[in-house]
Amino acid sequence: MLRLCGLQFLLLIHSAVWLHLECLSVSGPLKDMDFNVQEGGGPRILHQFTLEPPAVSFRASGEKAGIIDIDPKTGILYINGSLDWETKQVHKLQVESVDESGSRVKGPYAVTIYVEDINDNPPEFNQTEYKGVVRQNSRPGKPFMYVYATDRDDPKTPHAQLSYSILHHFPKYFEEMLFQIDNATGAISPTKTGSYYLDPLKQDTFTLVVSVKDMGGMTTNAFASSVDVVITVMESLWKAPPTIHIKENSTQVHPVNITKVQSNEPDVIYDLFEKEKLPRLPFSVSEDGTIYVTEPLDREEKDMYTFYVVSKDSTGELVEKPLQIQVIVEDINDNPPVCQQDLTVVEVQENEKGGSNIGTVLATDMDEKGSLNSRLRFQIQSQEPQYPSGSLFYIQQDTGTLQLTGPSLSKRDSAKYSLTVLVSDPDFKTICDVEVHVIDINDQIPIFEKSDYDSVTLSENTPVGTVILEIQATDGDEPATGSSLIVYQMKEGDPNNTFIIETDSETNRGFVKINKALDFEAMPVYNLVINATNPEPLVQGVQYNESSLATFKVFVTNVDEPPVFQKPVYKTEVSEDIPVNTLVMTVEAYDPEGDSVRYSLEGDVRKWLRIDSVTGQVYTASLLDREKEEIYSIEVAVSELNNAAQKSKAFLVLQLRDVNDNHPQIATDNPTFFCYPVSGGEKTLIQAIDADELLFYSKFTFSLADEMNARNNWEISKYNATHAYLSPKHGNFEEKVYDVPIILNDNGEPPLENKVNLKVSICKCSTENSCFIEIDRQHSWPTAGQAIGILLGVLLIIGAILAGVFIHMKHKEKKNGKSQPKDAKDNAELNRLA
């Protein structure tokens, strides 16, 4: 600490006096004063108090710490040394002036010296070495240990704001660090890489060099300290168990213990959650991590379960990564074979040879596929009729394939055979019924009634599904069989399947229909060749020939089609402030006949756009305004150049991006007023609004204009992002309307500012605390012209009423007859009205 002896400091004081205290920034009479003095810095003069007669000198007392005092004659308050914030932050003194007899003239006055901290202390760790343990596969970012350091400097300043970091990492196998530290709390945790790669079998110990810096670690002249942190890696207790196998339909008492998990952390809460959204999860987990199956399982309902077990702390946060639990339900033979069809029908042609496969009996078993529980065996138990033999059929026991055992069947012997087939697994048996139909052999080919169906001419806009031709062929095989059913197909001339032929199964009549839209430009003529075949194959030696073929021509005529847009909707986004004549998009259309086209816009009510009629380029025709319309939708039309009637339309949608181009305003929904007389403390809430999109202002700034009256009379204070309080600064207001100039700033990009004169009424208030305005008496009476008009109107109404009454009475008089006297009551009424 720098300190001057008494003689040296006395010379310093006298020098200051001789120089008229030019180096002192402030001098003045004795009064209470506060000083902020940075610690260190050596001797210095703080202030000079001036004497006021009859005072002749000063004296000081209090917390002078041996280095703070006042020169009695000159009144110079000085420090003869260096202050230390860590020793004492505040020094309180009393200063008074005295006369020649030593009696107090003024004071004592309080002089308080606040010592300001400087960064003169390095941070210190509370341990010389730290040791910690981390488990393998620990969750990334979850702390497993902490380091802690302190700094003797002022904790309210950056001098004591500490920042932790890892300087070195031994050993270092990867470019990425295996550990990380929270720079504010000193919490050490694994990184993602560390969580994945930490393995005690590969490396069980790591040493980190952890550094701590003051000044938040943000300056180059910050103090720093470091310490070694030794970390031991231990094997993870948190491991997924191997796949669990459970036999279905178990008769054990449930719940049944199937496995157990254990967390690396103590006092965790275990929970299960599903990978699949099941109606129920037949598993549970206990407090100690034991996992149970809660009910018997059915493999046919679900053969495998996959779910997760998690460990959480008391706040519900995950402690470790979820573990996947997989349960396989093992099969038992608890399902009988099931016939796939109630009745299996097999058709056999008369000429089938012995040993031929004629069909298959299909059956299933819901038990596990590929196991003995689902292995099926087939056996023929009976055949009806047993003519000409009782064993005409054979079934392969493992496949269910039916075969003929002897010579070909004859429809004359029997047209149908009924078989019962026994299907069995190791424990269950089922009967399947089979019918074998003997069918006529296909030895006749279809023959068209005529080989040439001439031609038809169609316009290219003929609807899809239109029948354009009916054709007929006949077949000599047995009716209503696959041998006689005729299938018509386009053999040649229709590469794109433009046509389709449907067959009436009862009459074998064919209907040629349009399957796809015709296109004159793509295919003006079709030379079609139609063939007729049977679903059943022909017998050996018989082949289809020209009798089963027919020809037909289709001529397509051109139709003038309107142009076609490439897209039904053209959409783009532009900023609302783009200049006029800016290209915003290009629309494209073509005419199927290759004619030239022209473009136009329809529905452009704001006249914002124009289009090049030849190129389809759309430009801005005037300035855009998002506040008028954010999404501007119109139609763009395209027509043939030489035939405007051939026209198509598409939508053109312009999404306007907002810019900050509207000045903020004061909302005027409710009048602003204060009740007269103003008593002080009143305030009213005012609101700022802006037509721009919310994106462009996060908050408004309110301030009073730089006018003397405004700032003397009013004050404004922030309430929230869009509102502020306006309040009068005094009570001397007249009962009238004041213009209060307020400057609003929307803090947008760019920021826009607006000066608004807010009308504020000072008015008498009603009991409901609302502004009461007297009606001026001179405006409460009508003018002479108005009075005459009102009088004439009243007279006309009275006249109309009297006329109505007289007509009514006359009518009543005629009705009662001339000889009858008038009703006295009516006369009285007439007299009264007159």
- Cβ-Cβ contacts under 8 Å for 274 (sequence gap 6 or more): 281, 307, 308
- In sequence order, the β-bridge partners of residue 467 are 513
In this structure, the answer to whether residues 157 and 65 fall within a common structural domain is: no
The answer to whether residue 149 scores a pLDDT higher than 60 is yes
pLDDT tens-digit map of 190-212: 999 998 899 999 999 999 999 99
Among the residue ranges 23-27, 237-241, 511-515, the one predicted with the least confidence is: 23-27
The residue-averaged pLDDT of 313-317 equals 90
Are the C-beta atoms of 38 and 118 separated by less than 8 Å? yes
In this structure, the answer to whether residues 64 and 80 fall within a common structural domain is: yes
Take residue 804 and report the two structure tokens written for it. Answer: 């109505």
pLDDT value for 811: 60
Q: What are phi and psi of 527, to 5 degrees?
A: -105, 95
The answer to whether residue 824 scores a pLDDT higher than 70 is no
In this structure, the answer to whether residues 607 and 549 fall within a common structural domain is: no
Distance (Å) of CA 760 to CA 81, 675, 728, 729: 60, 11, 10, 14
pLDDT category at 25 given cuts 50, 70, 90 is very low
In this structure, the answer to whether residues 131 and 230 fall within a common structural domain is: yes
The answer to whether residue 13 scores a pLDDT higher than 50 is no
In this structure, the answer to whether residues 223 and 280 fall within a common structural domain is: no
Q: Which of 124-128, 271-275, 279-283, 655-659 has the highest mean pLDDT?
A: 124-128
In this structure, the answer to whether residues 459 and 529 fall within a common structural domain is: yes
- How are strands ordered across the β-sheet holding 597-602? 569-575, 643-657, 631-640, 597-602
- In sequence order, the β-bridge partners of residue 779 are none
Among the residue ranges 428-437, 577-586, 747-756, 822-831, the one predicted with the least confidence is: 822-831
In this structure, the answer to whether residues 581 and 526 fall within a common structural domain is: no
The answer to whether residue 820 scores a pLDDT higher than 50 is no
What CA–CA distance (Å, rounded) separates 598 from 590? 10
Does a structural domain hold residue 715? yes
pLDDT category at 768 given cuts 50, 70, 90 is confident
Does a structural domain hold residue 777? no
Number of domains making up the chain: 7
Does a structural domain hold residue 784? no
pLDDT value for 336: 95
In this structure, the answer to whether residues 108 and 181 fall within a common structural domain is: no
The answer to whether residue 821 scores a pLDDT higher than 60 is no
pLDDT category at 801 given cuts 50, 70, 90 is confident
Are the C-beta atoms of 120 and 144 separated by less than 8 Å? no
Among the residue ranges 592-596, 735-739, 760-764, the one predicted with the least confidence is: 592-596
pLDDT value for 279: 86
What percentage of the chain has pLDDT greater than the value 70? 91
Does a structural domain hold residue 3? no
Decide which of 66, 85, 116 is a domain's last residue: 116
The answer to whether residue 17 scores a pLDDT higher than 70 is no
Does a structural domain hold residue 266? yes
Q: Which of 167-171, 562-566, 709-713 has the highest mean pLDDT?
A: 167-171
Distance (Å) of CA 453 to CA 456, 527, 831: 9, 11, 106
DSSP code of 802? H
pLDDT tens-digit map of 430-477: 999 999 998 878 888 999 999 999 999 999 889 999 999 999 999 988
pLDDT tens-digit map of 130-146: 999 999 988 889 899 99
Q: What are phi and psi of 628, to 5 degrees?
A: -85, -40
pLDDT value for 707: 79
pLDDT value for 8: 47
In this structure, the answer to whether residues 434 and 450 fall within a common structural domain is: no
Are the C-beta atoms of 232 and 188 separated by less than 8 Å? no
pLDDT value for 643: 83
Higher pLDDT, 299 or 731: 299
In this structure, the answer to whether residues 147 and 174 fall within a common structural domain is: yes
The answer to whether residue 680 scores a pLDDT higher than 80 is no
pLDDT value for 18: 37
pLDDT value for 393: 95
Decide which of 439, 458, 487 is a domain's last residue: 439
pLDDT category at 373 given cuts 50, 70, 90 is very high
What CA–CA distance (Å, rounded) separates 747 from 660? 10
One-letter-per-residue 3-state SS of 712-753: HHEEEEECCCCEEEEEECCCCCCCCEEEEEEEEECCCCCCCE
Does a structural domain hold residue 826? no
pLDDT category at 831 given cuts 50, 70, 90 is very low
What percentage of the chain has pLDDT greater than the value 90? 58
pLDDT value for 729: 84
Could you tell me the residue range of the domain that residue 199 belongs to? 124-234
Handedness of CA 248, 254, 258, 262 (dihedral sign): positive
In this structure, the answer to whether residues 268 and 371 fall within a common structural domain is: no
504: domain CATH number is 2.60.40.60
Among the residue ranges 291-300, 402-411, 687-696, the one predicted with the least confidence is: 687-696
The residue-averaged pLDDT of 264-280 equals 88
pLDDT category at 784 given cuts 50, 70, 90 is low
Tell how far CA 210 is from the center of its chain: 41
Does a structural domain hold residue 367? yes
- How are strands ordered across the β-sheet holding 499-503? 447-448, 467-474, 509-514, 499-503
In this structure, the answer to whether residues 294 and 361 fall within a common structural domain is: no
pLDDT value for 10: 46
Q: Across the chain, what does the average pLDDT equal?
A: 87
pLDDT category at 771 given cuts 50, 70, 90 is confident
Burial of 70 (0-12, 13-18, 19+ CB in 10 A): buried
Decide which of 598, 625, 657 is a domain's last residue: 657
Does a structural domain hold residue 112? yes
The answer to whether residue 5 scores a pLDDT higher than 60 is no
Which is nearest to 20 in space by CA: 52, 42, 50?
50
Q: Structure pTM? A: 0.40
Residue appearing with tokens 């053109």: 652
Among the residue ranges 19-28, 119-128, 730-739, the one predicted with the least confidence is: 19-28
